[in-house]
Amino acid sequence: MDDTVAGTPPLDELALPGFSPASPAATPYRVLARKYRPRTFDDLIGQEAMVRTLSNGFETGRIPQAWMLTGVRGVGKTTTARILARGLNYQRADGTGQPTVHMPELGIHCESIMESRHVDVLEMDAASHTGIEDVRQIIDGIRYAPVSARYKVYIIDEVHMLSEKAFNAFLKTLEEPPPHAKFVFATTEIRKVPVTILSRCQRFDLRRVEADVLVQHLERICRAENVTADEDALAAIARAAEGSVRDSLSLLDQAIAHGAGTVTAAIVRDMLGLADRGRIIDLFEAVMRGDIPAAFAALRDAYDAGADPAVIVSDLAAFTHVVTRLKLIPDAARDPALTEIERVRGASFAERLTVRALSRAWQILLKGLPEVQGSNRPVAAAEMLLVRLAYASDLPTPDEALRALSRHGAAASPAPSPSGGFSPGAGPSASLALATVNARPERQAPAPAQNAAPVLRLRRFEDVVALAGERREISLKTALERDVRLVRFEEGQIEFALAEGGNRTLANDLSRVLQEWTGVRWVVALAASSNTPTLYEQQQAAARQRTEGAANHPLVQAVLSRFPGAQIVNVVEKVRAADDSTAETDLLGTEDAAAARELETDDDL
């Protein structure tokens, strides 16, 4: 039976039977999903359209013979069916009353109908009574008048479970029932109900309850139960319930027991195996920045805290959706289901990320989630999914690649080898350039000589790192930034020492790829030790220096003193010195170097 909860009465009506908090010694404990089950149409939340239609129909006497209630689990189908049966048979103690949706006081039939023990309101679970014999019993008994109520009401839950013969047996009776008989059907699978049945019913689609409405509903129940609950905790419960009020109350009941009367966000995360929202956002930032070590560390931290890898990926996709909504709909930040950290950091990401990058991340996460769920090693599958996402985060879109090719020209692409492949060192950009030239023969430039190779000058070690990023070698770029302590750099020669934990094969790997990229043999040697900081350490030191400089600024000091507890989160440089290196311009081109410096200055992802 679909024991649903779709609302709670106002707090001043808690004295009604079934809503008054009972003493544990007087009555046994009732779960919140049953204790706060709606008893009138006014108690329903999120179903205003249905209540308005029923109210108008009752007031004008346009009462159909059958209703079909459909919706996901927990939105209030069975509860609405009982309230509907109560409204059809509403009668006061003095004998007055008529079918209505307004029931300010209990009628003579109300209590027994809501407790499913009225003789004229029959409930049948079609999941366990699927055959034609069960339907034949209803057809045989429908001819008799009700014992005490105004109508005989038949409530059939999960009606889609009836067999084909049972549906066919219902057709004639459902089309022309006796005046004293009404049917209320409920189902979660409306597509499995035959059209011949649907055409004889007035259909209502019960909507999922919005997250903000659900949070307010949970807050009212917490106040009635004298339970202390954090707003973030209730928002997490509302998200997990996915619009189902019954599920949200069941989760709240569990959280209250878990926290001994106090519901916090940490308790809900531990109970549901969720990842901390802050850790999810840190993971999102790392992976969109292409920082694989930081992304792996964030994933491991969340996993060690008890989060399921599949849930982490799902939350990552959900936050990607949040950022996309904040970018396209700024008013989405007012959604009460969002936590403060989601609003602030999500808005920051929305300003810096493009819709195409967010759409690409969403597709990768959505398609990778089943792989993580079905893997025997979910953590490894999640890590590989993060690698895929980080690698794709800075890939150019087709139009960006075409613009880059048009700037550099097709003449710089290497000629195809006689076997039909590409010469050594030809990457995806060269392949795309060649395809573009072949597609437009009228604009084809003269083919270069076989021994003519593009001249690529690397004057600084930073140019090597930038080239690795341009060639999409994310792991190599990260190793060069974090593990290399430079001793000497000249064109064609590099000598460096490894930081602790660095890969000993890094020198050979770097020599090989540099020869492929530049067409010149590079000598890369390892030194015993060096005190030179890595590029990553230099970046961290520069960030600390900026923060310390900002903290010493009189205006910043005044703000910090005016707002106790405030912290400097980030310092963004808006102006860069005019003597930027020209090596990066030679390597990337004027427009690309300017774009790279702008991204670096703004700490873009």
Which is more confidently placed, 257 or 9?
A: 257
Average pLDDT, integer, range 457-484: 83
Strand runs (DSSP E) across 449-578, as ranges? 484-490, 493-498, 523-526
Residue 384 has pLDDT above 90, yes or no: yes
| Residues 221-233 pLDDT 10s | 898 888 888 888 8
DSSP state for residue 146 in the 8-state scheme: P
Report the phi/psi class of residue 66: left, alpha or beta, with left for phi > 0 and alpha for psi in -120 to 50: beta
**Nearest Cα to Cα of residue 365 among 280, 267, 432:** 280
Looking at the chain, the number of H-run helices and the number of E-run strands are: 26, 10
Residue 168 — very low, low, confident or very high, per pLDDT cuts 50/70/90? confident
**Nearest Cα to Cα of residue 70 among 167, 203, 199, 197:** 203
Report how far Cα 544 is from the mean position of its chain's Cα atoms. 34
Average pLDDT, integer, range 422-427: 34
> Quick one: tokens of 294?
């930081």
How would you classify the pairing of strands 484-490 and 493-498? antiparallel
Greatest pairwise CA separation for the chain in angstroms = 106
The highest-confidence range among 60-74, 269-283, 527-541, by mean pLDDT, is 60-74
User: Across all residues in the chain, what is the average pLDDT?
Assistant: 77
Residue 579 — very low, low, confident or very high, per pLDDT cuts 50/70/90? very low
**Nearest Cα to Cα of residue 493 among 465, 452, 536, 526:** 526
CA distance 374 to 389: 19
Residue 75 has pLDDT above 90, yes or no: no
Environment class of 56 (CB within 10 Å of its CB; exposed 0-12, middle 13-18, buried 19+): exposed
Q: What is the pLDDT of residue 183?
A: 92
**Nearest Cα to Cα of residue 276 among 257, 295, 303:** 303
Q: What is the pLDDT of residue 381?
A: 92
* 444-453: Cβ within 8 A, 24+ apart: 444/410, 445/409, 445/410, 445/411, 446/411, 447/415, 448/411, 448/415, 450/415, 453/414, 453/519
**Three-state DSSP state, 67:** strand
Which is more confidently placed, 13 or 399?
A: 399
Which is more confidently placed, 371 or 448?
A: 371
Environment class of 207 (CB within 10 Å of its CB; exposed 0-12, middle 13-18, buried 19+): middle
Query: What radius of gyration, in Å, describes the C-alpha atoms of the chain?
Result: 34
Q: What is the pLDDT of residue 243?
A: 81
CA distance 350 to 353: 6
**Nearest Cα to Cα of residue 246 among 392, 396, 72, 81:** 72
- Residue 139 phi/psi, 5-degree rounding, is -65, -40
Q: Is 94 within 8 Å of 173 (Cβ atoms)?
A: no
Residue 455 — very low, low, confident or very high, per pLDDT cuts 50/70/90? low
CA distance 110 to 446: 91
Q: Is 114 within 8 Å of 81 (Cβ atoms)?
A: no
Residue 551 has pLDDT above 90, yes or no: no
Cα angle 360, 513, 531 (rounded to 5 degrees) comes to 100
Report the phi/psi class of residue 189: left, alpha or beta, with left for phi > 0 and alpha for psi in -120 to 50: beta
Residue 223: count of CB within 10 angstroms of its CB: 12
> Which domains can be identified in the chain, with CATH numbers?
38-205 (3.40.50.300), 277-393 (1.20.272.10), 398-443 (no CATH), 461-532 (3.30.300)
Say how many Å lie between the first and final Cα of the chain, rounded.
50
Residue 556 has pLDDT above 60, yes or no: yes
CA distance 100 to 87: 5
Which is more confidently placed, 157 or 471?
A: 157
Average pLDDT, integer, range 361-390: 91
**Residues linked to residue 262 through DSSP beta bridges, in sequence order:** 228
DSSP state for residue 532 in the 8-state scheme: P
CA distance 11 to 223: 9
Residue 122: count of CB within 10 angstroms of its CB: 17
Residue 271 — very low, low, confident or very high, per pLDDT cuts 50/70/90? confident
| Residues 81-96 pLDDT 10s | 988 898 888 888 887 8
Q: Which amino acid is at 197?
A: I
DSSP code per residue over 419-471: TSSB-TT--HHHHHHHHHHHH-GGGPPPPPPTT--------SHHHHHHHHHHT
| Residues 105-156 pLDDT 10s | 888 888 888 888 888 998 888 888 878 888 888 888 888 888 888 899 999 9
Residue 336 — very low, low, confident or very high, per pLDDT cuts 50/70/90? low
Q: What is the pLDDT of residue 409?
A: 53
The highest-confidence range among 5-9, 29-33, 560-564, 591-595, by mean pLDDT, is 29-33
CA distance 80 to 13: 19
Average pLDDT, integer, range 592-601: 44
